[in-house]
């Protein structure tokens, strides 16, 4: 299938529309550690009006026996309007990401977005905490920039299997965050120690809001602490998607809204949801 030419209606559609189908050009696509790769593409300005936690729907190339038909949702690792750049951090797990891994500098990648509802930092919050593990740290990376832009202190609690699997740590430090790393290899990433670390921050300098992504274990812990200390929170969730825009009703998950269970579309009402409403699965 041919895809929409980048130039078609690019000018008149900006401002009126919020998501765009555009060809981007791969700048680099390198392994950052044993599991993850960083894809950097040059992107037109109109698709860089992003919010942390939003995602793009990628048209992954076919390679060998792989023919990904549907687009693949990918959270934004970084966006830079000044440099005209979009970044994705991904792990090769299936036909779509195997295709992404074959992209070399100069190649085209068709993207659709930005999509979904991202994280928000309340204007009166002055110290927030993000807690994430593994690739979840990629989704939370743009939040660090947002926190700095809003003059809000950030504590980043980063968990991973081993120190070399800790993603985004340098990025968080560059943004002035206080970074706490916990790993399985060092025996520091267990739920109990994680709880101690979070409690120490809450009871010490204080935390105005929690931000997380993915992990059920972290979700349950943060929900408990959020209730105990009366601290609000937000979580980005995943679900398999087809359209990415809200039309197909594929990506629904259940949420607890004041004791009533409701289904919401992860692509449209999310992917970022209220921490207390999310249900672990």
Partner 1 sequence: MLSLETRIGALALKNPIMPASGTFSEDLADVLDLGALGAHVTKTVTSETRNGNPTPRVCEVRGAMLNSIGIPSKGVAHFLDHVVPFYSQFDVPLIVSISAGTADEFARTCAALDVPGVAGIEVNISCPNLEEDGKAFAMRPSTTEAVMQKVRGATALPLWAKLSPNTGETTEVAQAAEAAGADALVVCNTLLAMAIDVETRRPTLGNLMGGLSGPSLKPIALRMSYQCANAVDIPIIGCGGISTVEDVVEFLIAGATAVQVGTATFIEAGIMERLIADLRAWMQAHGVSSVADLVGSVRDQEAGDGMLLAEGVS
Residue 165 is classified by DSSP as: G
From the list 47, 59, 166, 207, which residue makes contact with partner 1 (rule: CB under 8 A)?
A: 59
| Closest distance to partner 1 from the beta carbon of 257 (Å) | 15
When the beta carbons of 93 and 249 are compared against partner 1, the nearer one is: 249
Q: Which of 28, 93, 193, 263 binds partner 1 (CB under 8 A)?
A: 263
Residue 3 binds partner 1 (CB under 8 A) = yes
H or E stretch at 219: helix 216-229
Q: Which of 56, 112, 211, 273 binds partner 1 (CB under 8 A)?
A: 112
Please name the residues in contact with 9: beta carbons below 8 A apart, sequence gap of 6 or more: none
Segment near partner 1 (CB under 8 A), from 2-10, 81-89, 125-133, 173-181? 2-10
Kindly state whether residue 249 participates in binding partner 1, applying the rule CB under 8 A.
Answer: yes
Q: Is 19 in the site for partner 1 (CB under 8 A)?
A: yes
Instruction: Please identify, among the stretches 37-45, 137-145, 175-183, 246-254, the one whose residues bind partner 1 according to the rule CB under 8 A.
Output: 246-254
CA distance 101 to 65: 14
| Cα(22)–Cα(58) distance, integer angstroms | 10
Specify whether the CB–CB gap between 136 and 159 falls below 8 A.
no
Q: Which residues of 46-55 are buried (b: 16+ CB within 10 A; e: fewer)?
A: bbbebbbbbb
101 is an interface residue for partner 1 by CB under 8 A: no
Bridge partners of 272?
236
- Judged by CB under 8 A, the residue of 245, 276, 277, 279 near partner 1 is 245
């Amino acid at each position: 299938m041919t895809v929409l030419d980048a130039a078609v209606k690019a000018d008149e559609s900006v401002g009126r529309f919020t998501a765009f189908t555009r060809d981007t050009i791969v700048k680099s696509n390198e392994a950052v550690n044993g599991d993850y790769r960083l894809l950097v593409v040059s992107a037109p300005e109109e698709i860089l009006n992003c919010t942390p936690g939003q995602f793009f729907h990628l048209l992954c190339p076919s390679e060998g026996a792989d023919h990904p038909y549907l687009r693949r949702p990918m959270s934004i690792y970084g966006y830079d309007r000044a440099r005209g750049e979009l970044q994705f951090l991904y792990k090769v797990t299936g036909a779509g990401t195997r295709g992404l891994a074959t992209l070399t500098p100069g190649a085209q990648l068709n993207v659709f977005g930005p999509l979904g509802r991202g994280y928000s930092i309340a204007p009166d919050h002055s110290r927030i905490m993000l807690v994430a593990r593994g690739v979840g740290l990629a989704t939370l990376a743009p939040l660090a920039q947002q926190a700095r832009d809003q003059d809000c202190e950030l504590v980043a609690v980063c968990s991973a299997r081993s120190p070399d699997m800790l993603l985004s740590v340098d990025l968080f430090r560059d943004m002035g965050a206080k970074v706490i790393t916990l790993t399985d290899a060092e025996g520091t990433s267990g739920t109990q120690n994680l709880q101690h670390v979070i409690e120490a921050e809450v009871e010490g300098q204080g935390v105005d809001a929690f931000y997380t992504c993915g992990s059920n274990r972290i979700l349950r812990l943060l929900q408990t602490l959020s209730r105990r200390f009366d601290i609000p929170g937000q979580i980005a969730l995943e679900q398999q998607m087809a359209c990415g825009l809200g039309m197909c009703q594929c990506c629904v998950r259940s949420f607890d809204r004041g004791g009533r269970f409701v289904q919401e579309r992860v692509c449209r009402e999310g992917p970022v949801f209220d921490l207390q409403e999310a249900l672990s699965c």
